[in-house]
Structure 1
Amino acid sequence: MTTTQVSEAGQEIDKLLALHPKGFDLSLDRITRLLDVLGNPQDRLPPVIHVAGTNGKGSVTAFSRAILEASGLSVHVHTSPHLVNWHERYRIGKKGERGALVSDAVLADAVRRVGEANGGQKITVFEILTAVTFVLFAEHPADVAIIEVGLGGRFDATNVIKTPAVSVIMPISLDHQAYLGDRVELIAAEKAGIMKRGCPVVIGHQEEDTARDVLVSIAERLNCPLSVYGQDFMAHEEFGRLVYQDEFGLADLSLPRLPGRHQYANAAAAIRAVKAAGFDISDTVIDKGLVTVEWPGRLQRLTEGKLASLAPKGSEIWVDGGHNPGAGQVIAETMANLEERDPRPLFLITGMINTKDPAGYFKAFKGLAEQIFTVPIRGSDAGIDAVALADDAVTAGFEAGAVSTVAEALGAITAMFDGDPVAPRILIGGSLYLVGDVLADNGTPPR
């Protein structure tokens, strides 16, 4: 999540970072005040699909966007955090074609205006940037807006939307415990804060029954039209196809472009969310969305670029920003499935920040990874020391060692495979910060 692009918008945001804290201070008071000064642009948005969850919210956002754009609709999309440039947080919808990242001049102007409207009052930069989302999306007409929660739900700065077309809650697991609680039911209650009385709710696949029970209970108390994965809709693979089912019947679809079996449930949640939001979509449109979807930095295959060229010839290189035990589990399952089809030795290049659970993340790769290289995170002052992270990996039962850069790790792997006919599989991840640095260094930032 570096800001390597020298841009007018980046300069404006840097000014704000010098004045205001970058992190989270969960409250709606500050952004409510600022939005009132701005004329409450959040009340002038197209229908909103509001997405929360510990894991999968980015994927369901990407699937929903792809399906809606396949139907010819213009779709605004807000996601956070960004990987390489701030502009990634704001995709502006275009009628009849794919939306594009906001232009530098338009973003710089919006940031400047919102900063001036704040008038030097206490606020976090995330809150200012969320207000920028509402200004941009209100000023540029579109058919629908997909808005991803930053942290939690109840007190997240995006949670000023009064009547979402649908609120989507994706899988919940332990993460950000300092802010949200140390039990999944507590975290579920925080995420459920984006539900609004009488507005549709879609609950994605939940590994924890306690999380699902909390979400269902709150939705029912608010009289929300409710769709629950595994009960009201579901999806599975059959003969190389994705079979989606809800009360309207069965749909025979292409498998999603995004790798990993966990994406079947994410795709199903997106299909259900788009329908629950009131959009009439055909199976043909859904199919087109599934095969055109893109989501950078999440099980993204690197096939070329400056860093990729440092790996052994023929290597299979993946990057993924998943950083908690739940994400580690689904990533490891994907690596295991790849291993079944195409056996290769797996190497991990991992960097993490100090709010995460390294042992829980590494545990998922037991029996899969041959060796782990740990690296510092250049884009964050909260990174875990690479030596300490390597010690965590050793404690978890892996052969591991610290290196100074991803390039050094790739060079070490290349030295091991000099002349070996079987090229390795390499997974670079553990942090979105690390993935952002890798995509920037590789010369393949999100577009």
Structure 2
Amino acid sequence: MIINNVRMVLRDDVVHGSLEIRQGVIHHISDSLSRHPGALDGEDALLLPGLVELHTDNLDKCFTPRPGVAWPAMAAMRHHDAVIIASGITTVFDAIAVGDVRDGGHRLSTLRHLIDTVIASQQAQANRADHFIHLRCELPHKDTLGLFEQLANFPLVSLVSLMDHSPGQRQFASREKYYQYYKGKYQLNDTQMTAFEQEQLAGSLRWSQPNRAAIVQLCRAKKLTMASHDDAAFEHVEQTYQQGGSIAEFPTTEAAAKAAQQFGMRVLMGAPNVVCGGSHSGNVAAHHLAALGCLDILSSDYYPASLLESAFIMHEDERNSLNLAQAVALVSHNPAAALGLHDRGCIEEGRRADLLLVERHPSRLELKRVWRRGIRVY
């Protein structure tokens, strides 16, 4: 297949020309137009590499659209996959929470159900995007380690993040923001919220450090990529680095992001932070870190459609100095490289033909087509 008359966003430049695909791989890139009569006319649209998403909670929302509602597994997976591919994401790490912060966390049967469905749909080649599994380990929970020990051996588990959402630190250094978030999320009154807070503080004190030490040891033995989560201080980042972590997810302060950069870790921030102009928790803004040169990866987190839009916002934001190629790398090449996926993430000869055809209008983005391994999937 030849895609003609497109502005290709390469690693370092934007080149107008054509691209040839053979057997799912980018075979040739040309800075001139093709004269082949069967070439697809891209009509001067932008051709981007498929997006790579390292941390999205969208899967869980599709399986449990409302409290107490368990959607049929494969139907939920189809919907999740459709949302992902319609957002321009061709490679996704589905984030699954191990040890939730409420109601005893997810039981093993529930978590296995989610993971089994991802694996089964991948093996059946039923998905349009390429799915991996990201285990989000909530350290202050008594069941987290036992669950992780049983889940870490599953196929597709490739990324592990270590987190502690207890109040007064990291993401919720502001108690006001903590109350606002969890009272709204779980519909708690003041008395219930106070009890919930005390329970989370006690869990953190009892379980966070021993769970962290044991999970880190298992990750290193299994050679799983590790990420910290919501680092707020130099000490948080230093601990993760010394334990073998390579990604700092959603650092909450400039100091933590600079520390991650100092240690050679990749800094990941939320695309919703970019789209909304800042953090909903009152923490550091992604555009501020970008202006400092302390941003490597963007993740859609809780809103898949934000990922593609965030790249263009970052490029067009006058506070940053990112050209379009650098902005697109935040959502494609950089996350792929962070997980060792060197066969994708950029438009380059020999790489997978995971591609997006995008038109940028004055007030909106239009995702016209998506290909994965050269096959049109959207």
TM superposition score normalised by structure 1: 0.24
Higher strand content, 1 or 2: 2
Which one scores higher on RCO, CA 8 angstroms, separation ≥ 6? 2
